[in-house]
Amino acid sequence: MNRDRQAIETLRILAVEQIAKAKSGHPGIALGAAPIIHLLYSKIMNISPKHHQWINRDRFVMSAGHGSALLYSVLYLAGYGLGIDDLKEFRQFGSKTPGHPEIHTTPGVDATTGPLGQGIAMAVGMTIAETYLGAKFNRSDLNLFDHRTYVLCGDGDLQEGVAQEAMSLAGHLGLNKLIVLYDSNDIQLDGKVANANSESVSEKLPAMGWNHILVEDGEDLNDLEKAVGQAQLSNKPTIIEVKTIIGRGSSVANTPKAHGSPLPAEEVAKMRAEFGGEPFSVPNEILDFYQESIIEAGETKYESWMKLKEVYAAKYHREAEQLDGMISNDYPVDFMRLLNFEESYSKATRVSGGDILNVLQTVHPGLIGGSADLASSTKVKGIDGDFSKTNRTGRNLNFGVREHSMAAIANGIALHQGLRPFVSGFFVFSDYMKPAIRLSALMDLPVIYVFTHDSIAVGEDGPTHQPVEQLTMLRSIPNMNVIRPADANETLTAWEVALETKTNPVALVLTRQDVPTVTNRKLSAHLKQGAYVLSPERRHLDGIIMASGSEVKLALDAQNRLFEDGIDVRVVSVPSMFLFDRQNEKYRESVLPKQVKARLAIEMSEASHYYKYLGTDGSLMNIKGFGQSSPAGKLIEAMGFYVENVVSVFKEGYKNSQK
């Protein structure tokens, strides 16, 4: 057995040993795709395990995230900091080797994967980031950015809509630094691929602007290497379809059983016996080989890049400084001087939001993004033209009607580092992005989602376009900051929060319709605390009305009317429950004092999260069903969102609370 073969068998045995010990995992892909992983890590990728955050490293995305055990095997051998004991702790509580790869848990993992299709789309985002940064910062003699993004995906990945959307866009954009290795084994969980899919990948992908290269025997390293070399020279993204055998060499090879169940312990023991050595042991020559070919070679690559960067910094001082700020995501913007909205300003928050973003982009070089074919409605558009085959420094990403992959691509851009992605669409279509938004939150990525047309006030377009339950959906995601500002000033502070944010996604939820200015710069600064007393009671605190977004004005009007009727309430603006729930108890109590039982929350949404602030006697004025097609004003009134009704609902609750 030559060294490559021995290395491949090492990856295989380590993977199935991890899975067998955990009694949980996916041996099929580990056995089938080991040669691909070996080749990528030992011969192809420019990586430096000791500097696993090196920004110009080649990226690797295990889109088939269930192949984690295979990935951990190679990360261990390649010196990323995993020890053999970590492999023994595969899938255990608190271990560095979780069931699917997670970026914060395991050094060397470039993307958290598992939900199929997402990895491919994130890789597209990484490639966009590399391409943009290269075009912006590289100089004729000094290529700071010059890396590729490699993906390992399976049959299931390619069936996902999000992957198809992203690949379509990658083809359109000619992202030639993207190379997808497709572990094509003709088997998926429920049986043969042929039972669920009969596309011709070799014809379909070229029709989408991709190269397709077939490697007929996934064990043939020469062919594999040749294919990758060919891909590297192309001006298009490439998919290398590698024919492999799922569960290769095991008793369940070439069957769906190989996918997700551990091999029997005896079978693994037998495989180990044939390979030689103790369980979880690795032949010294393999350790040496990886040490040399990856760890030491990587050190050299990294150091020569650092030297390059020094030369660059000397020659292009300003650019280097800007780049450092962008990489560290530390780019201060003086919001107080940026913009000022007059008291008389009364435009939709999507409009003020768009104005703010346009100014921000001129002072923050890291901002890049766009909309899913709705820029003219959401007012969210990148500057410097469309990013395209011919304009690699365009900061507008024209995603087309591809909401889901838009969000996943934004994740990839954020993962790459160096850029601050923002994406946009109608709020109701956040539904299409949910799986990727969840991954933003899980990966602590500060992706900025700008959602406009935020309630039934969408009006004529009707219930399919009127969000109702989307605020609840997003508020329920852990680590997700949902901000629904009341006016232009709160929108400005919301953008400030978004830019300052480093470890969670932020959703700005903006109106379609005009809203008056109800705060000022000083008041709206309290948005950072999530909720605040916007208009205090005048003499005695009889009750509290909470509201967010366009309903804040309604709350203020109701406050006045109630005062005329002898009831003295305060109005609390609640732009972000996420931020408010993170304040200390003293602050929260100062805004919503416990002894005040008469409480009303007003929000044109399903709004269930308000219940936690309402207690037994509070009431919620929300939207109970779907909306309907109608001019907005009429519909809002029909749904009860007018002053008289607010006053009457509050009084009802007030009466009950006095009992």
Residue 564 annotated as catalytic:
no
- Using CB under 8 A as the binding rule, whether residue 368 contacts a copy of itself is answered as no
Single residue of 20, 153, 246, 374 touching a copy of itself by CB under 8 A: 374
Q: How many residues bind a copy of itself (CB under 8 A)?
A: 113
Q: Does 625 bind a copy of itself (CB under 8 A)?
A: yes
Quote the least distance from Cβ 98 to a copy of itself, whole Å: 3
Judged by CB, which is closer to a copy of itself: 550, or 657?
A: 657
Of 4, 220, 431, 500, the residue at the interface with a copy of itself (CB under 8 A) is: 431
CB closer to a copy of itself out of 40 and 374: 374
Applying the rule CB under 8 A, the residues between 79 and 108 that interact with a copy of itself are: 91-95, 98-100, 102
Q: How far apart (Å, rounded) are the C-alpha atoms in residues 491 and 495?
A: 6
E strand or H helix at 183: strand 178-184
Q: Residue 212: which H helix or E strand, with range? A: strand 211-215
Contact 185, 244 (CB under 8 A): yes
Q: Cα 653–657–659 angle (5° rounding)?
A: 125
CA–CA separation, 80 and 240 (whole Å): 26
Return the range that interacts with a copy of itself (CB under 8 A); candidates 4-12, 169-177, 509-517, 564-572.
169-177
**DSSP helix/strand/coil, 642:** coil
Binders of a copy of itself among 107-126, rule CB under 8 A?
112-117
DSSP labels, 247-287: TTTSTTTTSTHHHHSPPPHHHHHHHHHHH-SSTT---HHHH
Backbone φ and ψ for 205, nearest 5 degrees, come out as: -65, -45
State the binding string over 56-75 for a copy of itself (x if CB under 8 A, else -).
---------x----------
Instruction: Return the residue matching tokens 């109106």.
Output: 511
- Work out whether 483 is an interface residue with a copy of itself (CB under 8 A): no
- Considering only residues 179 through 238, tell me which ones interact with a copy of itself, judged by CB under 8 A: 188-191, 195-201, 203-204, 206-209
Which range binds a copy of itself by CB under 8 A, 75-83, 339-347, 409-417, 612-620? 612-620
Closest CA to 495 of 327, 342, 361, 402: 361
Tokens of residue 367, six digits: 């901002």
Q: Which of 235, 390, 584, 616 binds a copy of itself (CB under 8 A)?
A: 616
Per-residue tokens: 275: 């390979």
- Tally of CB atoms within 10 A around 586: 7
| Angle, alpha carbons 173-178-179 (nearest 5°) | 135
Give the residue, chosen from 49, 79, 366, 459, that forms a contact with a copy of itself under the rule CB under 8 A.
459
Q: Judged by CB under 8 A, which of 140, 284, 376, 584 binds a copy of itself?
A: 376
Interface mask (CB under 8 A) for a copy of itself, residues 532-571, using x and -? Answer: ----------------------------------------
> Where do the DSSP E strands lie in 377-531?
396-398, 420-426, 448-452, 481-483, 506-509
Nearer to a copy of itself, 35 or 247 (CB): 247
- Of 3, 4, 24, 563, the one binding a copy of itself (CB under 8 A) is 24
Among the listed residues 160, 241, 319, 403, the single catalytic one is 403
Which residues form the catalytic set?
403
